[in-house]
Chains A and B, each alone.
Chain A
Amino acid sequence: MKTAKKYKTQKNQRFWTKFWTYLFLLFISAVILYPLLITVTSAFKAGNLMAFRLELNANWTLDSFKRLFTDTMYGQWYLNTLVVAITSMLVQVAAITLAGYAYSRYRFAGRKQTLKFFLLVQMVPTTAALTAFYVMALLIGGLDQHWFLILVYIGGGIPMNTWLMKGYFDTVPLDLDESARLDGAGHFRIFWQIILPLVRPMIAVQALWAFMNPFGEYMLARFLLRSQKNYTVAIGLQTFISNPKNQQVTLFAAGAILIAVPICILFFYLQKSFVTGLTAGGTKG
C-alpha cells in the first residue's frame, strides 16, 4: 500500500519535472526565435516598413535584396569588410601562432615576465583609447584608411589570443618535439611539420574569431572611417535605421541576413572545435 503510494507520487513528480522543463525550453526558444524571425521575415516584405513585427501574411518579395545592391553602397561595404576581415585574420593568426609556439616550447630569458605582461595588457580596454588612435592616425595619415583599422584590430587581439594559443600548444606532448629533434629535425621543421598540424583546430577557431570581429565591431570603425565608401557593413547597416524619420527597416533586415547567414554557418561548422579550444586553452592558463 505504502510503496504503491510512494511510487505514484514519484511518478507524479517526474511528470511535473518533465512538464516544467519542456515548458521552459519552449518558452526560451520562443524568446530567442521571435526577434530573429521578425528580422528575417522583414527582409522579404514589400514596401518600406516603419518597424518590425511578425506577420506571416504579407507580400513576399526579394525587392529589398535587389535594392541593397542597386540603391545603396552595401556591396562596397561588404567588400571593405571582407578585405579588413581577411587581412586582419591572416596577420593575427600568423603572429599569435608563432608567439604562442615560442612561449609554449622554448624557455628563454624574460619568458615569464613577458607572459605576465601579456596577461596584464590583455585587460587594458584598448578600444577606449580613442583619442590616442585619433592622434596617431592624424600623424601617419591613417584616418579613414582601412589599413589603420586593420592594424588596430590585429594588435588588440594579440595578447589574449597568444595566451590561448600557448595554452593549446601546451596540450601537445613534448615527446614529439624531442623524438623529432633526435631524428635531426631543425627548429623550423619541428614547428612546421610536426607541431603545427596538431594545433589546426585551435588555428581554425582563432581564424574564425579574427574574421568575425570586423563584421560586428562598431565603435572603432565608426570613429576611424569617415567617408561612406569606406564603411564596413556594421556602420553601413546602422545608417539605414539610425535616422528615426527615415527608417529603412526592410533594407536593414536584408543586409543583416546576408551577413548573419554565412557567419552562422561558419559558427556552427566550427562550434565543436572552438568549445574544446576554449576549455583547453582557458583552463591550462
Chain B
Amino acid sequence: MATTTNKQKKVTFSKEQQAHMQKATWLSLIPGLGQFYNKQIFKGVIFLIIFALFVFQMLFSGVHALNGLITLGSTPREDHSLFIMIQGAMQLLLILIYAIFHLVNMVDARKVAKQSILSPDTVSHTPTQLLKNVWNNGFAYLLTVPAYILMIFTIVFPVLVTIFIAFTNYDFYHIPPATLIDWTGFETFKSIFTLSTYRDTFGAVFGWTIIWTLSATTLQIVVGIFCAIMMHQPFVKFKRIFGVILLLPWAVPAFITILSFSNIFNDSAGAINTQVIPLLNHLPLVDIPMISWKTDPFWTKIAIISIQGWLGFPYIYVLTSGILQSIPDDWYEASVIDGANALQKFRYITLPQIFAVAAPVFVTQYTFNFNNFSMIYLFNGGGPGSVGSGAGATDILISWIYKLTTGTSPQYNIASAITLIISAIVIFVSLLVFKQTKAFEMED
C-alpha cells in the first residue's frame, strides 16, 4: 500500500496542486473518500468497508468493552472481572491497529495525489493494477505478518495484561467470578515499597538477585575467557578432546545438570560431602568438615554461583576462542619488540579485542542470569529458610514471582508489579549498553 518513493528531487508545487493534495488527505479522514477523489474506486471501496466494519464493531461491542475496562464489572458472580479486563485489552489493541490503518490510509491518499501530479501514468486505477501494485510493494509486509500476529498474541498482549493487573487488587481475596476485581491505582507498588513485610522481602530478594547476577555471570565470563586463552596456546595437544569436554556443560540440557547437582550437593548423602571432601582430606594440611550445602544459606549461595559458572562458561569460551583466532599475530610480535610481557600483551591487546566484539553478548548473559529461574528453583527451590512473603534465602525476583503466582495464597497483583519492575530494569540496562555499542544504528 504505502509506496516507497526514493528521495526525489525537491519539486515545488503550485497552489492548486498543493490544494489538490490537501484535499485528498483531508477527505480520507473518512477512509476511502480520499481514494475516490484520486479515482481509485476499488481501493476506496475496500478502505470504506474496513472503516464501516470498525465503526460497526465499536458501536455494537467496542464501546461496551471499553466501558467494562473502566468498571471491571458490577455484579459479582455474573460479571467475570478478568474476562472483562481481557476484552477491554483486546479492544484497545484493535483500536491501535485500526489507528495505524487510518494513518496509512491518509498518507496513501496524499502520496497518490502527489503521484498523480508528478507521473499520472503510474497511478493504478483498476483492481488488477492495484493487486499487482500491492504484491510488489506489500510483499515485505506479507512476509512479516505471521511474526507480528504471533508476537501480538504472546508478547504485546501479555505485557498489556500484566500492566493492567499490577494496578488492580487481584489476589487470593479477590478471585473472580466470586468476587469482583477493582482498579487500585498505585496501591500495589506502594505496598511493595512501604508495607514492612513486602518491603523487607523485596529488599532482601532484590539485593541477592543483584549479587547473584553479578557474581555468577562474572565467574562465567572469567572462566570462559581463561579457558579460551589456555586452549589458544599453540603447544596444547589433544585440542579436540579438550574442546569437546569444555563444551559438554552447554550441550547437556541445563535442567538435567542442575537436578543432578542438586542431588550431588545433598547434605547427608550427596557425592560432594561423601566423596569429594573425604578425597580432598587425604591431601596434607587439608581438613574440611561436611558442609551444609542445602540448609545453610551461605553455602547454598556459594554452590549455586559455582554451578552457574560451570553451566555458563562454555558459551563464553566458544565466543572468545573465535575472537582470539581473529587477532593478527603481528600485533603480538610488535608488542614483544616494544618489550611487552605476557601480562601487558593480555591487558592491552587481548582483553580490549574481546570486549570490543563480545560486550553485547556479555550483557545478554547478565540479563539472562538476572532471570535464571531454573538454576535457583531446581537446585533448592529457592531455599533454605525464608526471608518473608513466601521467598526463600536464595530466591531471586523471578522465582519469587513464580512462588507468588503458584503458592497457596497467590498475590497476582504483586507478582505482576514485580514483573514490571524486572522488565524495566532489564530494558534500562540493555538499552544503556546497546546505545554504547551502536546496535541501534542501522546500515541505512
Residue of B nearest to A97 (CB): B143
CB distance from B131 to the nearest CB of A (A): 14
Contact present for A108 and B2 (CB under 8 Å): yes
> When A32-B310, A136-B158, A162-B147 are in contact, do A259 and B423 touch as well, CB less than 8 Å?
no
Instruction: Say yes or no for B263: interface residue by CB 8 A criterion.
Output: yes
> What residues of chain B lie closer than 8 Å to A51, measured between beta carbons?
263-264, 266, 269-271, 274
Question: Is A53's CB under 8 angstroms from B271's CB?
Answer: yes
Name B64-82 residues within 8 Å CB distance of A: 82
Any B CB within 8 A of the CB of A279? yes
Tell me, yes or no, whether A124 is within 8 Å of chain B by CB: yes
Q: Which segment, of A2-10, A62-70, A72-80, A264-272, faces chain B?
A: A264-272
Secondary structure of the B contact surface, majority rule = helix
Q: Tell me if B154 and A218 are in contact (CB < 8 A).
A: no
Contacts A38-B271, A53-B271, A285-B439: A119 and B264 contacting too (C-beta < 8 A)? no
CB distance from B137 to the nearest CB of A (A): 8
Instruction: Check if A275 is an interface residue, CB within 8 A of chain B.
Output: yes
Which of under 10, 10 to 19, 20 to 34, or 35 or more describes the interface residues of A? 35 or more
The CA-CA distance from A108 to B248 in the complex, in Å, is 43
B373: chain A residues within 8 A (beta carbon): 127, 218-219
Given contacts A25-B230, A238-B259, A259-B256, contact A32 B246 (CB under 8 A): yes
When distances are taken between beta carbons in the complex, the residues of chain A under 8 Å from B157 are 132, 136
- Whether the Cβ atoms of A128 and B422 lie closer than 8 Å is yes
Asked whether, in the complex, the Cβ of A131 is within 8 Å of the Cβ of B165, the reply is: yes
Contact A124 B263 (CB under 8 A): no
Q: A108-B140, A121-B156, A162-B147 are in contact. Are A35 and B274 (CB under 8 A)?
A: no
Q: Which residues of A contact B151 (CB under 8 A)?
A: 121, 155, 158-159
Which residue of the partner chain A has the closest CB to B227? A28
CB pair B158 A35 closer than 8 Å: no
A139 pairs with B82, CB closer than 8 A:
yes
Q: Are B158 and A126 in contact (CB under 8 A)?
A: yes
Q: Does the CB pair A138–B82 fall under 8 Å?
A: yes
- In the assembled complex, which residues on chain A have CB atoms less than 8 Å from the CB atom of B137? 108
**B144 at the A/B interface (Cβ < 8 Å)?**
yes
- B427 interface residue, CB < 8 Å from A? yes
Which residues 28-53 of A sit at the B interface, judged by CB distance below 8 A? 28-29, 31-36, 38-39, 50-53
Secondary structure call for the A interface: helix
B412 within 8 A of A: yes
- Interface presence of A249 (CB below 8 A): yes
Q: Which residues of the partner chain B approach A176 to less than 8 Å between Cβ atoms?
A: none
Given known contacts A36-B248, A99-B147, A155-B150, is B230 in contact with A24 (CB within 8 Å)? yes
Nearest B-chain residue to A238, judged by Cβ: B259
When chains A and B are docked, how far (Å) is the Cα of A73 from the Cα of B341? 61
B155 and A121 contact, CB distance less than 8 A: yes
Q: What residues of A have a CB within 8 angstroms of the CB of B438 in the complex? A: 285
Report A216-258 CB contacts with B as 1/0, cut-off 8 Å.
1011000100000000001001100100000101001100100
Distance of A96 Cα from B137 Cα, bound (Å): 20
B398 at interface by CB-CB < 8 Å: yes
Q: Which of B140, B156, B254, B440 contacts A116 (CB 8 A)?
A: B440
List CB contacts (< 8 Å) of B316-337 with chain A.
Answer: 318-319, 322
Whether B357 contacts A133 by the Cβ 8 Å rule is no
- Residues in A with CB closer than 8 Å to B242 are 25, 29
Q: How far is the CA of A139 from the CA of B310 in the complex (A)?
A: 41
Closest B residue to A152 by beta carbon equals B154
B423 touches A98 (CB 8 A): no
Interface assignment of A263: CB less than 8 Å from any CB of chain B: yes
Residues of B within 8 A of A194 (CB): none
B128: min CB distance to chain A, Å: 16
Tell me, yes or no, whether B83 is within 8 Å of chain A by CB. Answer: yes
In the complex, how many angstroms separate the beta carbon of A262 from the nearest chain B beta carbon? 11
Question: In the complex, which residue of chain A has the Cβ closest to the Cβ of B401?
Answer: A128
In the complex, chain B residues 240-264 whose Cβ is within 8 Å of any chain A Cβ: 242, 244-257, 259-264
For residue B261, which residues in chain A have a CB less than 8 angstroms away from its CB? 35
B113 at the A/B interface (Cβ < 8 Å)? no
Please, which residues of chain A bring their CB within 8 A of the CB of B257?
A: 35-36, 39
Interface flag for A103 (CB, 8 Å): yes
A95/B150 in contact, CB under 8 A: yes
A21 to B227, CA, bound (A): 10
Residues of chain A within 8 A of B159, CB atoms compared: 121, 124, 126, 129, 132
11 A-B pairs besides A158-B151, A216-B254 with CB distance below 8 A are: A53-B271, A107-B4, A116-B440, A128-B371, A136-B157, A158-B150, A260-B256, A263-B252, A267-B247, A268-B244, A271-B247
User: Which residues of chain A have a CB within 8 Å of any CB of chain B?
Assistant: 17-18, 21-22, 24-25, 28-29, 31-36, 38-39, 50-54, 91, 94-96, 98-99, 101-103, 105-112, 114-116, 119-121, 123-136, 138-139, 151-152, 154-156, 158-159, 162, 170, 187, 212, 215-216, 218-219, 223, 234, 237-238, 241, 247, 249, 252-253, 256, 259-260, 263-264, 267-268, 271, 275, 278-279, 282-283, 285
Listed from nearest, the 3 A-B pairs whose CB atoms lie closest are A155-B154, A106-B140, A51-B269
27 A/B residue pairs, CB under 8 Å, sorted by A: A21-B230, A52-B270, A91-B150, A99-B143, A101-B143, A112-B442, A114-B144, A124-B159, A126-B158, A127-B373, A127-B398, A130-B406, A131-B165, A134-B405, A134-B412, A135-B82, A135-B165, A136-B161, A158-B150, A158-B151, A159-B155, A215-B253, A216-B256, A216-B374, A256-B256, A264-B248, A279-B357
